[in-house]
Amino acid sequence: MDDEWICGRLGEDEPWMLGAVNPPVFENSLFTFATAGELGAAIKDEDERYVYWRGTNPTVDLLQRKLAALERGERAKCFGSGMGAISATISSLVSAGDHVLVLGAIYGPTTQFLRYLEKFGVTHTHAGDLDECDSAIRSSTRLLYFESPSYMRYEVFDIAAVTSWAAGRGLVTVMDNTWSTPIFQKPLTLGVDLVVHSLSKYIGGHSDLVGGAVTGASRLIRPLALTEYQLYGAAMSPHDGAKAIKGLRTLPVRMAAHQERGLAVAAFLESHPAVGVVNHPGLPSHLGHSLAKQQMSGFSSLFSFELDTESREEVAAFLNGLRHFRIGVSWGGFESLVNAPALTVEESVRATMGIPVGLVRLSVGLEAAETLIKDLGLALEGVGRLA
Ligand SMILES: Cc1ncc(COP(=O)(O)O)c(C=O)c1O
């Protein structure tokens, strides 16, 4: 099964689709049964049967089948947000007294969630590489959590090496694959146990939904679907499920366009005198480039670069000088976005994370690369004038 077929056709030739080119949105909160006995039997198997929207929904189910197939996993479960998927997944794997290892930089709210778990007796340690993991591992460590490429700096980890290290020590691995999407990287095939996604980024693709997913083996997904999914209530709505399915229809083609435009913009920035490092794993100058080429089949268009400045005012002036890039959080949509941690993250947190003042993050959208390059070139002309 190739990815384009999975995105566009998988699960769509079934009788309930009635040949419709887009799946029906089942917007009923509950399903009814002919007899009380049938309802009782369905409730006993709520992970497989349709009873109530907080547990299962046929539109969302179709999305789940497609995501599981794209990641080459047995099952997927979709949530009302990426954080819904991440918090439910981590909670399903740990108990009081357990310890979590975090490898590399991860999305801020995921770290915040791990800190939140401290009140239930679950601790965590951040490690920069496998040597640091060796020193930080404890007898109570259950889980290794990471992103590759990593958050903000886009450091590339050797996924097969990480998972074999973790498996040798009896740890479960969870990886956030939002950056690459399953089109460009399939971590389950490299030994990761569970893959989490924010569907709000490239998979949705149109900045019109918030959603999340976890994919992996049934033996790990089923308990999570019956417990954390039902109890936390972060269910995905069928409307968002249908929008994410629409996003999947164009995902392969959009990712190819994002890759091409992102690389063109990154190469332009790398050659500009007002710019220091460009953190894009698709550039040959990136430390993880050759590893990335081995384990990924392409590159998305979210990356960061350093403006040659120590002034927050100058970073703000650069952002305000852009006409085409819109200033905002999130990423992965059709629209190009810019954001700078020096202007949005608390100063002490930024410094602890080792993020320089001049770091700027771009999400390159689907506009022509020349338009975006011109926009950046004009805004860069102003850098240095305020210093
Ligand atoms: C890498 C990464 N993972 C997860 C999330 C969380 O996803 P959501 O906003 O859908 O909850 C985000 C959101 O920005 C993210 O950047």
pLDDT of residue 354: 85
Residue 317 pairs with which residues in a beta bridge?
Answer: none
Q: Which domains does the chain have, with CATH numbers?
A: 3-248 (3.40.640.10), 252-381 (3.90.1150.10)
93 CA from centroid of ligand 1 (Å): 20
Would you call 111 helix, strand, or coil by DSSP? helix
pLDDT of residue 385: 61
Q: What is the pLDDT of residues 214-229, one digit of tens each?
A: 999 999 999 999 999 9
pLDDT of residue 64 exceeding 90, the answer is yes
Is 129 one of the catalytic residues?
Answer: no
Of 212, 207, 203, whose CA–CA distance to 251 is shortest?
Answer: 203
CA distance 297 to 299: 7
Percent of the residues in the chain that have a pLDDT greater than 90, as a whole number:
94
Q: For residue 382, name the pLDDT band (cuts at 50, 70, 90).
A: confident
Identified catalytic residue from 54, 65, 246, 293 = 54
Using the structure block, give the residue that is written with the tokens 């917007």. 27
pLDDT of residue 73: 98
pLDDT of residue 387 exceeding 50, the answer is no
Q: What is the pLDDT of residues 257-293, one digit of tens each?
A: 999 999 999 999 999 999 999 999 999 999 999 999 9
Of 188, 184, 149, whose CA–CA distance to 254 is shortest?
Answer: 184
- Which of 148, 198, 202, 362 for mutating ligand 1's site (highest number of atoms within 8 Å of CB)? 198
CA distance 69 to 4: 11
Would you call 367 helix, strand, or coil by DSSP? coil
Is 201 one of the catalytic residues?
Answer: yes
pLDDT of residue 182 exceeding 70, the answer is yes
Identified catalytic residue from 75, 201, 261, 361 = 201
- Residue 225 CA to its chain's centroid (Å): 20
Q: What is the mean pLDDT of the chain?
A: 96
Percent of the residues in the chain that have a pLDDT greater than 70, as a whole number:
99
Would you call 119 helix, strand, or coil by DSSP? helix
- Which atom of ligand 1 is nearest the CA belonging to 178? 1
CA distance 311 to 302: 23
Q: What is the pLDDT of residues 229-255, one digit of tens each?
A: 999 999 999 999 999 999 999 999 999
pLDDT of residue 383: 79
Tokens of 281: 């794993």
- Residue 231 CA to its chain's centroid (Å): 23
CA distance 257 to 266: 14
Torsion sign, CA atoms 99, 100, 102, 106? negative
Give mean pLDDT, residues 91-104: 98
Would you call 374 helix, strand, or coil by DSSP? helix
pLDDT of residue 78: 98
174 half-sphere exposure, CB direction, 13 A CA radius: 26
Peptide bond into 284 cis (omega under 30): no
Does any ligand 1 atom lie closer than 6 A to the CB of residue 198?
A: yes
Is 119 one of the catalytic residues?
Answer: no
Give mean pLDDT, residues 136-141: 98
